[in-house]
A and B are shown apart, each in its own frame.
Chain A
């Protein structure tokens, strides 16, 4: 069937084409974007939120906003990064609504136990270790680390997103790094 063939062509289309067509109102092109980046956005939202309960809602909300704002996207080829910024923003909105005073968890956690040096120099297991260690961090520290290292935000951007001062961000990020380094110390 012709439309089926067309769908397959859409599946293989580049981001610029899909974003341009979505801006034109083509919901089928948008569906391909949802399938292409939905997983990435859900994974990222999960890291920021620290729980899976609100992930579905947040990412859905991000896609609806993206649909509304797509006609204004200047560079459709950069739609992936643009979607990530939208979902980042939506996730942080939830975080802020949940707890207006984020820095209250800025306490010292007990010294971490060093993970067993089970698998050195193997990216896959290092990622697993990092994943587990991140889950142990207090929310504020984890969010600062993810916004800085995964999303590439500056201190000022993180501060304004989270409603903190840049110096608080600097402190939270340093604590997060210290914890992670010690926790994963075995890999050096």
Chain B
């Protein structure tokens, strides 16, 4: 330890005033840390007090990932009604995509299937094949023109 001679202030646990930081401020150190400690500031790098403060800031940062995980765990499992409300809302905005006309012998008939329905059929095929899963599905070319 570099501050054995100053155990009193160490025990108080503070060490964030300019006196503890060889004249630097927490604001300076905070910005220095976020700048990736570049360009190197020799005065900060040579100051034991600054190093302790920077290390503490980095330690806090290292806890942000675990904090987010703990928050996710603590967030009560979403209620079924909450999930249902999202799905109800988005179902209203179904993506039917382009209209794909189908040829028919009758000139008066106007048959078509939507792109969304074709994708649905393709996805449904995975039920018949063990172990496969269908990803994104694109229909190439101008499917709105028959033939």
Contacts and interface: CB of A to CB of B under 8 A. Distances in A.
Chain B contact residues: helix, strand, loop or mixed: helix
B83 A185 contact: no
B71 A47 contact: yes
Interface string B1-39: 000000000001111100000000111011100100000
Contact of B26 (A27, A150, A177): A177
Nearest to B122: A24
Contact of A5 (B57, B123, B127, B135): B127
Contact of B61 (A17, A71, A149): A149
B78 A39 contact: yes
A123 B94 CA distance: 45
A126 B14 CA distance: 18
B112 interface: no
B64 to A, nearest CB: 4
Contacts of A31: 83, 87
Contacts of B82: 56, 60
B67 interface: yes
B93 interface: yes
Contact of B13 (A21, A46, A173, A186): A186
B95 A25 contact: yes
